[in-house]
Structure formats: C-alpha cells, structure tokens
Structure 1
Amino acid sequence: MSDSSDSPVYVVLGAGPGLGLGVARRFAQEGYVAVLAGRTADDAAPWAATLEAEGHRAEGVGVDLNDPADIASVVGAIGERHGRIDVLHFNPSAWREKSLLELTVAELLEDVAFGAGGLLPAVQAAQPHMSAGARVLVTGSAAADTPSPSAPTLGVQKAAVRNLVTSLDKTLAPEGVRAVAVQINGVLAKEGPFTPPPIAEAMWAAVSRPDDAWSPHVSYNG
C-alpha cells in the first residue's frame, strides 16, 4: 500500500548513530522523510526514534548489504510505500585490517561488493521511484587516493564507488537525476570540522546544487 505524500524522501543505506544519523537529520530539517536502513530494523529503530523526538518524520528499516536481492527488495519497498525516493544515500564501507601479503582475492571482492557493488541494486530499485531533481549521494573517502596498507580494501571500495558514481551520473542525467560522491578528506572525529554536522551540511550543499552547477565529485576538506 502506498503512503505517498508531497514530502520528499531521503533514504540512507548503511545508516549508523554517527554520520548516517547526522546526514539524515540534516535532510529531515529540510522537510524530508528520513528512512534509515541499518543492519536490522531493531538497530535502526532508535535512530529513527531520535529524529522523531526532534519533530521529524523518520523510520528505521533493516537491510542485508551483503545481499543484492535484499537491497533491491528493501529499496523498492520504500519507494512503493512512499511513492517516491528523492535522495538515495549510499553510506556503507567495510574495514578489514589485513596485510596485502595475506589478503585473499575472495576477501577483496567481498569487501568491494559490500562497499561499492551494493550501489547498483540500490539505484536500480530506486530509479523507478525517482523523478527529475532526485539525487544519488555516496559517502566517499580520501582512502580512494591515499589508501592505508593496513586496511587496503577500503581504498579499493572508495575508488570503485567513485568511479561508479561518474558513470551513474551520466546514465541518469537525461532523466534529470544526478549522482554525486562527497569525498571526506579527513578522519571522522568527535570535535571539529570532521564531526557529523559539518559533513552533513556539505552533503546537503552537494545535492542541492542546480544541474547547471553539477559535478559528480565534491571534496570536503573541513
């Protein structure tokens, strides 16, 4: 059953109590219904409740980001329920501390499938519910350019997802839908410019640009 309304809908995959919640809050402040997808619905429920307590419309859902079919099912159901998806935010990444001299091909591909490949079924399921002006937002990282040898798969994930965003933006642009990766060139912190609120502000600024000022990559340097 559709719960469509005039309110825009923001969906974040790979939500959490830090950056995911912070960005969801920024969009909720603009009147978006915030849908936070965590590992389980029970995980996501408190984050949605936090936003609801602040006077926003929000809901928490569960999604298995290792399962493309589940990603498609969850995103598709959100679109059907609300009648629209205006911002699809892909936020997950896998952190695996392992030397390149020990890392296996299977482990590398598993992490890339999680941190980059999952964007594909998400966009494919969201696209029928996105109209002109909708946006795909991806959390990028400086690891794409300066990978750490102690966690080498993260850099590959972020380089791969940034590449996908470039192609997605060109693919979706004729429909008036644009894609952007916001590359965070710093380490998330509890104080200062790399806390969730200023990063969330940068993400809001990135997606709210008009098409004639669009670029698929934005750097946040604090």
Structure 2
Amino acid sequence: MDIQPSTQSGAQVVVVVGAGPGVSGSLARRCAAEGWQVGLVGLDEHALADLAATLVPARVERRIADLTDPVAGAQAVAGLGERFGRIDLLHVNPSAYREADPLHLGVEELLEDVRLGVGSLLTAVQAAHPYLVRGARVTVTGSMAADQPSPVAASLGVQKAGVRNLVHSLDATLAPEGVRAVSVTVRGALAREGTFSHDAVAAAILDASRQDEADWRSEVSYPSV
C-alpha cells in the first residue's frame, strides 16, 4: 500500500535524518526517482552536497546539524517541515560504532552513543510531528545487533535494541493520527552488492513503509524470516 497523499498540495516529502552515502542515500535516491521532494539532515556538509547532486531533478533542501544536540537536531527537522509544508516519510538512520567491549566501555561513552543512536529518533519525531500528514510513515534502520550484539562494539547493540523499542512506542502513540512507525532489522552485514547492498536495504525500508495498515508490524526483518 502506498503512502496516502494528504489534502495538502505538492509532491510527497521525505526527510532523511543522518543522511549519507550509504543506505540513507540510496533511500533518498529511490524517493527522488519517484518524484518526491527530499530533505537531508546531517553533520557532514560535503557528504550532503554530494548526495544532493545525485538527486537532480528533485527539489532538495539540506540542513547541517549535530544530531547529538537535541536543539540543533530539532531545528533542522522542523525547518525542513516548515520549508516543505509537510512530511510524508521521516527516515532516521544514525548510529555510533565504537570499538569497546563491556569491560572497557565507559558509562559516558555509552550514553554519548545512545544519545545519537536512540535520542536522535526521539528528537526527529517530536520536531517532525506537526508536519506529519495523515498516512505519513516513520522508518528506522535497525540491525541484528539488537538481538546478537558484538562484544567488541557493545554500545551498538544497546543502541539498536533501544531504537527498536522506541519505534514500538512511537507507532502505538502515532497510530490514532494515521501515522505509523517501523524499524527494519537488517540481519546481515552491509555490502557493495547483493542482498545486503545499500540499494537493496533501502528498497526493503521503503517496502516496510508501504505495508498494508491492517497488517502493520512495527518491526520488519530483512531478509524476512
């Protein structure tokens, strides 16, 4: 089922938070190819500019923000919502990879990583909320690390488990407004080609956003199990 357009005029809008050259970039390109307008939020100005150049002729707006700063992150997302007048798909992508096992991971390091990998979702949805039209979707890049954490990067599993849990809560909260949320749990390592290529995972995320609402699941595994 496609996302239903609102009664507001204009093309559909995707806002990608934590945009970059990987899965999030592939998702932005897929939406642009379908005629969507695209908003990009990230910290690396050059990476955003490079990505925007691949989205022609779509209308693209960029915002630079440190997503660990909830004020800056909220201003960036809300600014795009105000600029476009609506948000039909909000995709939240960031996470932090830190090589540290549980015996060497500091509490402050863990909290710093969770601030990005989980907190950015909370910030983004709260800021986007006034612009989420009925039928809008929130998607998140999940990971099998939520269930099978690597001990050499202990904080990543905590982030992915936390963000998945938050998606369940967001979905239940937003559902009465006709807005749904879903986390796509990627059960494999990203690769240049094949099942776990950036393009393939981005397609799976877009497919998850288009689930039939009558059978909606707030977590989808990729590949399906």
TM-based fold match above 0.5: yes
Query: Matched residues, percent identical?
Result: 54
Aligned match of 1:199: 201
Shift of 1:180: 0.3
**Aligned with residue 29 of structure 1, among 33, 43, 46:** 33
Q: Which amino acid aligns with 1:133?
A: G
Partner Cα separation in structure 2 for residue 129 and residue 110 of structure 1: 28
2:153 corresponds to which letter in structure 1?
A: A
Q: Secondary structure in 2 aligned to 1:97?
A: coil
CA shift for structure 1 position 38: 1.9
Would the aligned equivalents of 1:181 and 1:218 in 2 still touch at CA under 8 Å?
yes
Q: Residue 129 of structure 1: CA displacement?
A: 0.5
Q: 1:45 aligns with which of 49, 59, 69?
A: 49
- For structure 2, the 5+ residue unaligned runs are 1-7
Residue 24 of structure 1, CA deviation: 0.8
Distance in 2 separating the partners of 1:29 and 1:215? 26
TM-score of the aligned structures, taking structure 1 as reference length: 0.94
Task: Tell me how far 1:35 sits from its aligned partner.
Answer: 1.5
Offset at residue 191 of structure 1 (A): 1.5
Measured against aligned partners, the alpha-carbon deviations of 1:111-156 in whole angstroms (never above 9, x if no partner) come to 0111011111110110100121001100000000000000000000
CA distance in 1, matches of 2:97, 2:9: 38
2-structure distance, mates of 1:109, 1:122? 18
Query: Contact between 1:40 and 1:61, CA under 8 Å: does it hold in 2?
Result: no
In the alignment, structure 1 residue 7 sits paired with structure 2 residue 35: no
Q: Is the Cα–Cα contact under 8 Å of residues 5 and 83 in structure 1 kept in the other structure?
A: no
Deviation at 1:43, TM superposition (A): 2.9
CA distance in 1, matches of 2:109, 2:9: 43
> What number of residue pairs does the alignment pair up?
217
Match of 1:190 in 2: 192
Is 2:173 aligned against 1:171? yes
**Which residue number in structure 2 is paired with residue 76 of structure 1?**
78
In the superposition, the TM-score normalised over structure 2's length comes to 0.92
Q: Answer yes or no: is the 8 Å Cα contact 2:97–2:156 preserved in 1.
A: yes
Give the Cα separation in 1 of the matches to 2:64 and 2:32.
Answer: 19
Unaligned 5+ runs, structure 1 = none
Match in the other structure for 1:219: 221
**Pairwise CA distance, 1:210:** 2.8
For residues 49 and 61 of structure 1, the distance between their equivalents in structure 2, rounded to whole angstroms, comes to 15
Compute the displacement of 1:5 (Å).
Answer: 4.8
| Residue 148 (1) aligns with residue 184 (2) | no
The structural deviation recorded for 1:99 is: 2.1
Question: Where does 1:55-66 land on structure 2 (aligned, <5 Å)?
Answer: 55-66=57-68
Tell me which moved more, 10-19 or 137-146.
10-19
Aligned-residue Cα RMSD (Å) equals 1.4
| 8 Å Cα contact 1:85-1:129 kept in structure 2 | yes
Aligned-pair CA distance for 1:57: 2.7
Name the CA distance, whole Å, in 2 between partners of 1:175 and 1:48: 31
Aligned to 2:100: 98
Q: Distance in 1 between matches of 2:59 and 2:10?
A: 13
In structure 2, what is the Cα distance between the partners aligned to 1:20 and 1:5? 26
Shift of 1:66: 1.0
Cα distance, 1:198 vs structure 2? 1.2
Report the 3-state secondary structure (helix = DSSP H, G, I; strand = E; otherwise coil) of the residue aligned with 1:96: coil
